[in-house]
Homo-oligomer: A and B are copies of this chain.
Amino acid sequence: MIETADALRTRPATDALQHIETPALLLDGDKLERNCRAMRERLGRHSVAIRPHVKTAKCVEVAQCALGAPDGPLTVSTLREAEYFADHGFKDILYAVGMVPHKMPRVAALAKRGVAMSVIVDSVEAARAHVAAASKEGVPIPALIEIDSDGHRAGIRPDEPRLFDVAQALGPLLGGVMTHAGASYNCANTEEIAAMATQEREAAVLAARVLRQRGHPAVAVSVGSTPTATFGRSFDGVTEVRAGVYVFQDLVMAGLGVCGVGDIALSVLATVIGHQREKNWLITDGGWMALSRDRGTARQKVDQGYGIVCDAAGKPIDGLVVSDANQEHGIVSRRDGGALDFARFPIGSRVRVLPNHACATAAQFPEYHVLRESLAPAVWERFSGW
């Protein structure tokens, strides 16, 4: 039998899969590299810095790939992330979840180790508490004011008078402004995302401008989400862009038009453990504990269930999805309910599942099994917790 070029290329990777216990988290290192390079190049063309959000990957090697460098500025969502990356040599970290005083000792400990830490606040109460806590620890940690650019979560609208009160309360600790257009995840098309990017940018730039007009040096103007970073047409006035999920991409991003299904670098390797022939179901050992309970595509045009099912080489199998999941069982069926070719999926054979939401799925695993075309398979550690 003559093997096709395609089969030859994917063979080393699929051979390696036979030795991995399931369920397992696979990372296509070549797709990761392409996704990271594309974002760096895009933002480079706009002459704006990138501060990747490492909440998605929680992995040193992935963060370095995102930066294209051994270290650089990072965004984190937990202090565990900050500590882990500091332990691995990263020295400029924004903790982008509203700061509260009891977390200051951990932030201060990082600052005293030489990490340029910054935090965010969105109220006078939090700003005063931050200033008091920073003073108590003797570390001048700057705080960015969180701006609400889309009404979806936290922040102060740029036209609210209390913006000045918060700046006043921060005094010399005012580090700038930041916003996150999380509503970009609900856009209907890429035009809407581009408009949301404009809205996100304008909110942050306006807030910085009015603060500067009142004598407050809003140095950092930080914006970002993967959709707005991908489709934003201008970053004028912005100093840095935060985005995270683009490194892996996922089905939610594909549903938004941010990427193609073929760009998704992350998948869950699972074993076929049963056949329900009358129902046309495969049962696998990849349940929601592996895939996560995230059903982010449920509200998109195409509901991908708990994920698109691919063959061991990572190629989607037409119409096959994880239609339901229990804790350690995945139920695989055709989207149209049609007949399955059970002979193609013997008990013990492997499938791969593309996830709805990379952040949620990756969080279920302690490590990435990294597959690359020209390099040996590797295992990259990831961590969890707070």
Complex CA distance for A101 and B78, rounded to whole angstroms:
40
The residue of chain B having its C-beta at the shortest distance from the C-beta of A96 within the complex is B328
- With an 8 Å Cβ cutoff, the count of chain A residues facing the other chain is 57
Contact code string A282-293 (vs B, CB < 8 Å = 1, else 0): 010100111011
Neighbouring B residues of A101 by C-beta, 8 Å? 348
Pairwise interchain contact B329-A153, C-beta atoms closer than 8 A: yes
Question: Which residue from B21, B103, B293, B384 sits with its C-beta under 8 Å from A360?
Answer: B293
Complex CA distance for A182 and B331, rounded to whole angstroms:
14
Pairwise interchain contact A347-B386, C-beta atoms closer than 8 A: no
Complex CA distance for A328 and B55, rounded to whole angstroms:
9
Contact code string A354-370 (vs B, CB < 8 Å = 1, else 0): 00010110011110000
The residue of chain B having its C-beta at the shortest distance from the C-beta of A288 within the complex is B360
Given A326-B182, A348-B100, decide whether A22 and B386 contact each other with a Cβ distance below 8 A: yes
Pairwise interchain contact A386-B21, C-beta atoms closer than 8 A: yes
Q: What are 22 sample pairs from A and B whose C-beta atoms fall under 8 A apart?
A: A23-B386, A24-B386, A55-B327, A97-B273, A98-B274, A99-B273, A100-B272, A100-B347, A100-B348, A123-B274, A123-B275, A123-B347, A125-B275, A129-B348, A153-B283, A153-B326, A154-B274, A290-B386, A293-B293, A293-B360, A363-B364, A366-B384
Pairwise interchain contact A327-B77, C-beta atoms closer than 8 A: yes
What is the predominant secondary structure among interface residues of chain A facing chain B?
Answer: loop
Query: For the complex formed by this chain, how many copies does it contain in all?
Result: 2
The residue of chain B having its C-beta at the shortest distance from the C-beta of A76 within the complex is B328
Please tell me if A89 contacts chain B, counting CB pairs below 8 Å. Answer: no
Query: A254-295: which residues lie under 8 A (CB-CB) from chain B?
Result: 271-276, 279, 283, 285, 288-290, 292-295
Please tell me if A161 contacts chain B, counting CB pairs below 8 Å. Answer: no
Please tell me if A346 contacts chain B, counting CB pairs below 8 Å. Answer: yes
Complex CA distance for A332 and B103, rounded to whole angstroms:
21
> Would you give the shortest CB distance from A246 to chain B, in whole angstroms?
15
> Would you give the shortest CB distance from A352 to chain B, in whole angstroms?
16
Please tell me if A138 contacts chain B, counting CB pairs below 8 Å. Answer: no
Pairwise interchain contact B329-A154, C-beta atoms closer than 8 A: yes
Neighbouring B residues of A125 by C-beta, 8 Å? 275, 346-347
> Would you give the shortest CB distance from A118 to chain B, in whole angstroms?
16
Query: A292-335: which residues lie under 8 A (CB-CB) from chain B?
Result: 292-295, 326-329, 331
Pairwise interchain contact A154-B283, C-beta atoms closer than 8 A: yes
Please tell me if A102 contacts chain B, counting CB pairs below 8 Å. Answer: yes
Pairwise interchain contact B359-A327, C-beta atoms closer than 8 A: yes
Please tell me if A126 contacts chain B, counting CB pairs below 8 Å. Answer: yes
Please tell me if A122 contacts chain B, counting CB pairs below 8 Å. Answer: yes
> Would you give the shortest CB distance from A286 to chain B, in whole angstroms?
10
Neighbouring B residues of A385 by C-beta, 8 Å? 365-366
Pairwise interchain contact A328-B363, C-beta atoms closer than 8 A: no
Complex CA distance for A360 and B289, rounded to whole angstroms:
7
Complex CA distance for A365 and B24, rounded to whole angstroms:
19
